Structure 1
């Protein structure tokens, strides 16, 4: 059964109403121009389908609690490199960045179980998501989770040129479960993870990953 994310409720309702209105309006005003009428109606349906697929929220489970770090989102691995993380750790970390196109599922899921030690929203720019400065200059949220296996791991939701709203459910002090709904980023964006140096990855550049299915670090035991 197809599920939709709660953050899409308003957009889905509006898109449905607009699409229905366009279909009936085309039927009334363009009935003497059959192919034009059908073209307009098809475009209205395509608009609705795009909105529906963007807010889809597939059920995904993985039996790997505590022993792995999974991809927090669907997308493509566009960065793997050692960088200075200047906001929280203030030292070098291994950065793994996943770029989401508008056709990807945009649900953010917790990459591992543990306690939320840090959660902060930053207003900012809307550079394209793959821009090198997007991680530090774009609108973003920074979340740090700690558990006994991996210590502290930071992930950052980053708005892109099209993404104008980031939703973050993580609250400092709460205990979260790997794979649970952690938020949503609307219309194209990126998520960065900052891992301890020396972390052995199961992915490489340009790999496509799925949230709560692709194991970035560790193995199922």
Structure 2
């Protein structure tokens, strides 16, 4: 499941190819006067699908951010997927963030649950339980970590490339959400948060919490 990080995510190649050809055709026939809206759209899509390589901070007990974005929730609540009380940290991604999702920890994928649902603004708390989402429960050296991809207002496709029984490395790419979304992270209550609501975070680069016992 390792990903070569080609700077532009593979999920965006078909969109860029079609839009690029259309833009060039319109530009050649009508010039910039007619093609400028397509050029703007092309560069917007190009920046949306960027997928830079990331380097994890040092520390074996660190829980890494699975997504770029802004912290919108840090609270103790119920993890509805692993059926336990947990520390929940939520990262909201707008359309200008990188939307490639990466594993927060080393571990074994124990369960994957997909739920169809609504497409309300992913910045809202109710999106966690009402929107389309894909939950992945990981056994991280005997500790349970749940990562939930949540579709947003204009997101219409959640992609998850791992399966039950796969082993993930912290920072390894495992999925993608197209056009605006969030990721919820549920951690054991022994985890100590390292971020606060409003903080900007970056997938793999930013540690969300310390969790004693991680390997």
TM-score (norm 1): 0.88
Change (3 A) 1:172 1:66: farther
Alignment gaps of 5+ in structure 2: none
Which of 134, 148, 153 is the aligned partner of 1:141? 134
Query: In the alignment, what sits opposite 2:46?
Result: 52
Which of 170, 173, 176 is the aligned partner of 1:181? 173
CA deviations on 1:155-183 (whole Å, 9 max, x unpaired) are 10000111000000121111111111110
Structure 1 residue 89: Cα displacement: 2.4
**2: CA distance, partners of 1:22 / 1:203:** 47
**2: CA distance, partners of 1:63 / 1:89:** 27
**2: CA distance, partners of 1:2 / 1:183:** 15
Which of 73, 81, 89 is the aligned partner of 1:79? 73
Larger radius of gyration: 1
Structure 1 residue 22: Cα displacement: 2.4
Query: In the alignment, what sits opposite 1:209?
Result: 201
Confirm or deny: 8 A CA contact 1:65 1:113 kept in the other structure.
no
* Mapping for residues 182-201 of structure 1, pairs under 5 Å: 182-201=174-193
Q: Across the two proteins, how many residue pairs are aligned to each other?
A: 208
Query: In the alignment, what sits opposite 1:152?
Result: 144
**2: CA distance, partners of 1:207 / 1:133:** 20
Which of 123, 135, 149 is the aligned partner of 1:130? 123
Query: In the alignment, what sits opposite 2:64?
Result: 70
**2: CA distance, partners of 1:130 / 1:49:** 25
RMSD of aligned alpha carbons: 2.0
CA deviations on 1:66-113 (whole Å, 9 max, x unpaired) are 431100010000111111222x22232111110000000000001111
Which of 86, 111, 119 is the aligned partner of 1:118? 111
Confirm or deny: 8 A CA contact 2:56 2:64 kept in the other structure.
no
Which of 163, 185, 189 is the aligned partner of 1:171? 163
**Given the alignment of the two structures, is residue 12 of structure 1 paired with residue 5 of structure 2, yes or no?**
no
- Of stretches 134-143 and 42-51 in structure 1, the one that deviates more from structure 2 is 42-51
Alignment gaps of 5+ in structure 1: 28-36
Confirm or deny: 8 A CA contact 1:99 1:129 kept in the other structure.
yes
Query: In the alignment, what sits opposite 2:101?
Result: 108
Aligned to 1:12, the other structure's residue is in SS state helix
